[in-house]
């Protein structure tokens, strides 16, 4: 199937309230345009150079999400291109996003990346580190970089019960934060979890946003 058919197939499988982030890293502007013409308006990139190159070439109503690890020294060029950053894993990074977002008076939705996988290589707060970060209340000073939810990546394994357990833990943690820290904030609403291999499990466990690349675009182009 082609890109358009892939998008329609995925959207037919997920509830209407679950957002599809088409992960377009390593794919051309032409491939993204094909997806856009099929009704896909949210795209995810993980490298500063790519999002900055593609943003001016494509329709300006595209909602760009930065989904990769973001170094503080690469925040500035990303901000004008980006609607949502999925990978906020430190107070320092959130402060840097706030600084550059404030300069251009642009609101940026930030998702707290939580380490839920068994692998050591993944980035993200532990549950306790995130609780500590939020309890210190520095994030409340941000006027442009606001916390809109959480993100997590499950272990890269075939054991569906383990993957489900990890997603379930992230959903429970989201519920805890919603009740304890954001009970009156409607913006805190997103649970970004699920990729090409496990997005249906993630949806079953409460995901509101899936990040799907190869199942949309096929193998990487470059």
Domain ranges of the chain: 3-217
Instruction: Report the run of H or E that residue 204 belongs to, with start and end.
Output: helix 199-204
Residue 45 has pLDDT above 80, yes or no: yes
Average pLDDT over residues 34-56: 97
**pLDDT per residue over 112-125, tens digit each?**
999 999 877 668 99
Which two three-digit tokens encode residue 204? 């079953």
Average pLDDT over residues 57-67: 98
Q: State residue 122's pLDDT score.
A: 64
Give the three-state DSSP class for 153. Answer: coil
- The torsion angles phi and psi of 40, rounded to 5 degrees, stand at -100, 125
Residue 53 has pLDDT above 70, yes or no: yes
Q: State residue 120's pLDDT score.
A: 73
Pick the CATH number of 3-217 from 3.30.9.10, 3.20.20.10, 3.30.1540.10, 3.40.640.10: 3.20.20.10
CB 180 within 8 A of CB 135: no
Q: State residue 1's pLDDT score.
A: 81
């Amino acid at each position: 199937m082609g890109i358009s058919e892939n998008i329609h197939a995925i959207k037919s499988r997920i509830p209407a309230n679950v957002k599809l982030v088409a992960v377009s890293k390593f794919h051309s502007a032409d491939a993204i345009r094909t997806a856009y013409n099929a009704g896909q308006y949210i795209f995810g990139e993980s490298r500063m150079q790519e999002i900055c190159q593609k943003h001016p070439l494509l329709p300006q109503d595209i909602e760009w999400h930065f989904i990769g690890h973001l170094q503080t020294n690469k925040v500035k060029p990303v901000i004008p291109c980006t609607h949502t950053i999925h990978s906020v894993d430190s107070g320092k990074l959130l402060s840097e996003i706030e600084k550059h977002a404030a300069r251009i008076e642009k609101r940026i939705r930030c998702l707290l990346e939580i380490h839920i996988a068994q692998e050591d290589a993944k980035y993200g707060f532990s549950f306790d580190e995130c609780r500590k970060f939020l309890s210190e209340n520095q994030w409340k000073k941000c006027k442009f970089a606001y916390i809109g939810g959480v993100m997590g990546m499950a272990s890269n394994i075939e054991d569906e019960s383990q993957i489900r357990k990890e997603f379930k833990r992230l959903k429970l943690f989201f519920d805890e934060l919603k009740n304890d820290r954001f009970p009156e904030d409607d913006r805190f609403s997103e649970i970004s979890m699920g990729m090409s291999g496990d997005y249906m499990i993630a949806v079953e466990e409460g995901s509101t946003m899936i990040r799907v690349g190869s199942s949309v675009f096929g193998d990487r182009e470059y």
